[in-house]
Structure 1
Amino acid sequence: PSLWVDGFTNGDPWRSILETNSPGAEPIPVPTLVTQGTSDKVIPASTTAQLATRLRSSGSTVTEQVLPGVPHTLAGEKSVPFAVEFFTDRFN
């Protein structure tokens, strides 16, 4: 059985609501860090790359960090050093 109700995301009003609420629909007014583990089986690297492209297209400044060999479950932990550097560069 599907977790989705037929027609939930492909008809209005939901389609327009979800499109408006999607990352990249509006520019993010501050620099944004996006990280991606190359061994992530939950969120494919192509999805994260599309997000970064969409954000840039909307006018956002995006820094991407690829985490070689990192799976989804460790991406947060392994992103910390990059996040610290990212914020230090901007607020120091």
Structure 2
Amino acid sequence: YPFQVNITDAAKAGSNQLTVKVTNLWPNRLIGDAQLPEDREWSGAALKDWPQWFKEGKESPTGRLTFTTWNHWGKDNTPLTSGMLGPVTLKTVKVAPAR
């Protein structure tokens, strides 16, 4: 399994609630933002100039959440497999003294 965590100290007797937060991959965020209107000019794959909104410390006027100076991923790229790819499994263990 790619990720494991010991929740012994967090679990309590009786009912418990577990929240699992999952994040996306950076290329997928860039591909998602590429679906929105362009908010900067490119010179090939390189940023042509710093957009005014960026220089003023403002958010993108088109709603994009990312900002890069190189156009790695575009709107026609296929998103990469990401997120929770399998079930969350809780396993209990009974600790017994060694004999």
TM-score (norm 2): 0.21
Q: Which has the higher helix share?
A: 1
- Highest Rg: 1 or 2? 2
Q: Which has the higher strand share?
A: 1
TM-score of the pair, normalised by structure 1: 0.22
